Structure 1
């Protein structure tokens, strides 16, 4: 989704504009989206939510089981679920690596800007226009980054509690295996119930228990994904 990005520069991109597009074709390969805490309840109504076995420890909305197999894009490349994760909505902008201590670069997918595009200007008189595309993206990305950091901190006790178990997701149709997703973890309900009252009370107060409950309830969405997979078998 963000393979070919460039850092926005007021001089280099002085005459560039953002290309208009309502298509989500860019997300056809996206099979998982990290979630911030504020998204989890809405996302849990649409997607199975899991925890990764490596990398940043954030809830992940699972969207498919094979390459080019995002199950939430229709034939017109429109998003079919009611809630679109922030990870998807930030496209074509993304936060780059720190340029200096405490600073980040605003980056954009290269083929989404052009001097001949008909969308919004990126810069005006060497500055970012207030309320313009880059200004809105900067606010969105900054807020999302802060939320992800806060979500990681909130989930740290869960990661340390030894109540997560590996999960393998298999999609089958008529006895035929269509795909498998591994490297996922889920909360073990029995291990959760065995925690002491002090720990459980602390998790309720911090909001962590709400995340866990949304995660557990979201696992029923496997059934809807399996239904979606029938109409999107390999080769479609």
Structure 2
């Protein structure tokens, strides 16, 4: 359900990466998108710990499977299902939009594996950056415009949040608090429950067994509120399941069966 993507692949959503250059892109503009069709069939989106509190009101927060787990906002329980986005990419109601989505089509990336600095890049196939008649100019007199500087600042803040997130997850692993997750949902009228696996979550039993000094340390360094936001958000699994059923996005229930209560 939330498997870690293979290494050495382009990040989620990105079909390509091209460094933004005042020489090659002097006349380029950036335009905002009212819809996100690239999101319509994405069920899990990377999340930073800075977003846990805002996100836990809308999405279950889980951790990807694999050796290097990352936090994910679940927007659907099945591959290719997003209950918060219409097929054309428009949002269904007011929700928190993760920074990973808002960052697209830009991101900071190393142009070479041995490069020390990150460069501002964009996805050339996004149709959001190009020589348009309308939009925000990216360069003025050969220098980055206010728009470009704002984009760069946002991407830099995202990278710093990503580093904090990596440290948080590493600490969870060092404390052996992550375990393979499993959620069983028994819809009314269905003989068999639907079982969801393929993600990791915090082990509540081990969390309760931590020594007082360990819990105090987690509270002082800000980890404990983040863990609780994650655990509280797991109650939304049933609501997510119900949304899928209501929208006809599977799984298929027997005739006469209703969705599980949230």
TM-score by length of 1: 0.87
Task: Find the counterpart in structure 2 of residue 35 from structure 1.
Answer: 47
Task: Find the counterpart in structure 2 of residue 19 from structure 1.
Answer: 31
Give the Å deviation of 1:114.
Answer: 2.3
Distance 2:109 2:67 in 1: 17
- Residues 92, 109 of structure 1: 8 Å contact kept: yes
- Residues 109, 121 of structure 2: 8 Å contact kept: yes
CA 1:9–1:148 in 2, change beyond 3 Å: closer, same or farther?
same
Correspondence 1:1-236 to 2 at 5 A: 1-54=13-66, 56-74=68-86, 77-80=89-92, 81-98=94-111, 101-110=115-124, 111-129=127-145, 131-132=146-147, 134-169=148-183, 175=190, 182-234=197-249
- Residues 182, 196 of structure 2: 8 Å contact kept: yes
SS in 2 for 1:33: strand
Deviations 1:114-140 (A, max 9, x none): 2234111111221101x21x2111100
Deviates more, 1:93-102 or 1:78-87: 93-102
Deviations 1:144-171 (A, max 9, x none): 1011101221332211222322124567
Distance 1:175 1:33 in 2: 30
Deviations 1:148-199 (A, max 9, x none): 101221332211222322124567766499x875431111211111111111
TM-score by length of 2: 0.79
CA 1:68–1:84 in 2, change beyond 3 Å: closer, same or farther?
same
CA 1:98–1:183 in 2, change beyond 3 Å: closer, same or farther?
farther
SS in 1 for 2:55: helix
Give the Å deviation of 1:9.
Answer: 1.2
Distance 2:120 2:151 in 1: 8
- What is the number of residues matched between the two proteins? 233
Distance 2:220 2:63 in 1: 21
| Structure 1: tracts of 5 or more residues without a match | none
